[in-house]
Copies of this chain bind each other. A is one copy, B any other.
């Protein structure tokens, strides 16, 4: 059950379209959420969907992945080993603003007489377009057309093309192109999911330069000592006379264009924007780099940028598109699903595409909720899609995770453990969770990372990464597990892991969380397997590994023993796996008397109240049954799902997608579809009532899995690709492509049959409902009935 079911899905406001999100009217009440939805980004740079005019605005947002400030966490009561420094993504200089004045009257959306308004997120091409026809009080009709791009080709670059035409009269026009630091000081949040607000200015001025129509302003963060330079330059095209004035100071700059516009003659202004950030380089050096970026952008022009963007997106969609035809009697409802799926994939790309050296924040670069931190979402929710469609991006993320290993080793020491413990939430690799019960205690992140590594290696065959960085991570994570658990006399000598928190944050610091124990076992086994392979077959690499980790084979024997002896809770009487040792002993939550406005429970109940009840925030055992599907019999899965599903509030957006996948597998197709709908509309339908704070990237990753792993029934444990379709009667067809071992597999399913096509590569084996299928270059297409 999803107790949020009681909350009706908000009205869907963006008309269904194949490739675009369209806003046909200016809706003040949607302002907050649409800033997130119309965000554009490239994984490095993210611009919230603020209007060019700078107002009205909910939150000016310009985020650079990994550009953060740190601060000492102050604890009311400190204890040994608590995380020491918080980290928060910084809201960088805003360079999106272009204020427009006609007859010296400002164009201001809420009061303007709009004859036409259309805003379009063009997911096919990667543009944010706006088209407005404004009638001034003096009766002048002004066409305003803009296009905003954050470039996937040059990740430091964004641009806004802004075209103004006074259609029916001559008029003096002023365009003020600005950049400034939004100094909004927000109160400290009551909602723990939001970000910290700094009370004082954290960006220290380092430089400001202006020349012609170019401005550069540089800052350094006060504590983390990161530098950031923002630069803008402009190209203006028009026949009428114009002049411009440029000014800049420490926190603001502007270029003001004054034009005597002729009726019907367009004013074409392009604003190029660049950001450069660094831990090590000074602002002066970044300013040089910004100059080069702007020089190059001006040299190539806006059209080239458009073309590059389009080509990047062509490639992306060609590899990654997921097409779903629903059978709803209203065609619009079908389109709605397709649109939302593409919206999800597009936003994942915007969050991860050019992250390079950074991770994927929980909200991507669309808002600063969760402080711009990287969590396990990255590995468990986002990577599956990327591994099978953009393996290079997946690799970058794993390499970034690997770069945290030294700090993870240090963190393990801080919590009195051997090996490495990856941070529950972080930007710079240090643990930033100030609440260990739903933070540091989530040791499962170690196993989650290894799980993603394993999936990546099996899908790509990239043993190079496995034998190098992977092996080192495997050794250190296995060490952690082996040190953390113990052989319990009270459990017949089984290996128990106590005092941990699983994925479900409504049950914290528990003993033998089944998910954790299962995933830790997997982690240990993969470490054993990898190290043994190196030892037996790659002695040089093995020596390198020993050199880096001081590994002894005795340790490997211990890991093997711990994995074999791992305790997996099971209740014989109920035939289910308890979520943890004490879960079944808890008092039942009184769902019947919990009004819908008391969800999410965490915002209305003291943690102790939640913890002492049998209630679940998000899929935990159900997630284990998805990730480690082969461990469970179908009967087991059914009993577990039937038990856990009604206890799950879905107070986390990470939950409902996974529940949908298991429901599909078990043939609960109506439920699977209902959950899928929540998952698909998480942001566009604002299911969680918090899209204003940013879109839910992990949930978007789950959307892909809902169709590929849920309805199309794909599993890939240890690289064995299997499909066991469970198409709901309301799904006409599903089509997607997977990149596996450099080969490209196209999958198409409908109610009757599945067609597997090898688009690229020599040979590929898979199983369809248990039967092996071998695709070859000679016989690349196989169509099989769905039983």
**Complex interface: chain B residues within 8 A of A438 (CB):** 77
Q: A486 near B: Cβ within 8 Å?
A: yes
Chain B residues near A188 (CB-CB < 8 A): 74, 78
Residues of B within 8 A of A611 (CB): 499, 509
Residue of B80, B86, B581, B607 touching A76 (CB-CB under 8 A): B86
When all copies of this chain in the complex are counted, the total is 2
Residue A138 at the chain B interface, CB threshold 8 Å: no
Q: How large is the interface on A (under 10, 10 to 19, 20 to 34, 35 or more residues)?
A: 35 or more
CB pair B77 A415 closer than 8 Å:
no
Cβ–Cβ contact B441 & A76, under 8 A = no
Complex CA–CA separation, A336 to B172 (angstroms): 97
Which stretch from A554-562, A583-591, A693-701 is at the chain B interface?
Answer: A583-591
Q: A73 at the A/B interface (Cβ < 8 Å)?
A: yes
Contact B435 A77 (CB under 8 A): yes
Q: Which residue of B lies closest to A607 (CB)?
A: B79
A540 within 8 A of partner (CB): no
Tell me which residues across on chain B come within 8 A of A76, comparing CB atoms: 73-75, 83, 86, 433-435
B192 touches A612 (CB 8 A): no
User: Do B488 and A609 have beta carbons less than 8 Å apart?
Assistant: no
* B78 and A606 form a contact (CB under 8 A): no
Report Cα–Cα, A602/B190, bound state, in Å. 30
Contact check: which of B77, B440, B511, B602 meets A606 at CB < 8 Å?
B440
Task: Give min CB distance, A388 to chain B, whole Å.
Answer: 34
Q: How far is the CB of A192 from chain B (nearest CB, A)?
A: 5
| A contact face: mostly helix, strand, loop, or mixed | loop
Given A441-B608, A499-B611: A585 and B79 within 8 A (CB)? no
Question: Does A101 have its Cβ within 8 Å of any Cβ on chain B?
Answer: no
> Which residue of B has the minimal Cβ distance to A433?
B77
Most chain B C-beta atoms within 10 Å of own C-beta, residue among A75, A79, A603 = A79
Check A79 against B581 for contact (C-beta < 8 Å). no
- Give, as a whole number of angstroms, the nearest-CB distance from A430 to chain B: 13
Question: In the bound complex, how far is the Cα of B193 from the Cα of A77, in angstroms?
Answer: 8
Q: Which of B75, B77, B81 contacts A605 (CB 8 A)?
A: B81
Max chain B Cβ within 10 angstroms of own Cβ: one of A188, A438, A612: A612
> What 0/1 pattern do residues 172 to 216 of A give for CB contact below 8 A with B?
000000000000000011101000000000000000000000000
Mark each residue of chain A from 425 to 443: 1 if its CB lies under 8 Å from any CB of chain B, else 0. Answer: 0000000011111111100
- Residue contact B80 to A608, C-beta cutoff 8 Å: no
Contacts of A74 in B (CB 8 A): 74, 76, 188
Would you mind naming 26 contact pairs between A and B with Cβ atoms under 8 Å apart? A74-B74, A74-B188, A75-B434, A75-B435, A76-B433, A80-B604, A80-B606, A81-B605, A81-B606, A81-B607, A415-B608, A416-B609, A436-B606, A436-B608, A488-B585, A491-B585, A498-B582, A498-B587, A498-B612, A499-B608, A499-B609, A500-B608, A509-B509, A509-B608, A511-B582, A511-B585
Instruction: Give me the 7 closest cross-chain CB pairs, A-B, nearest first.
Output: A76-B434, A499-B612, A81-B606, A77-B435, A486-B587, A415-B606, A498-B612
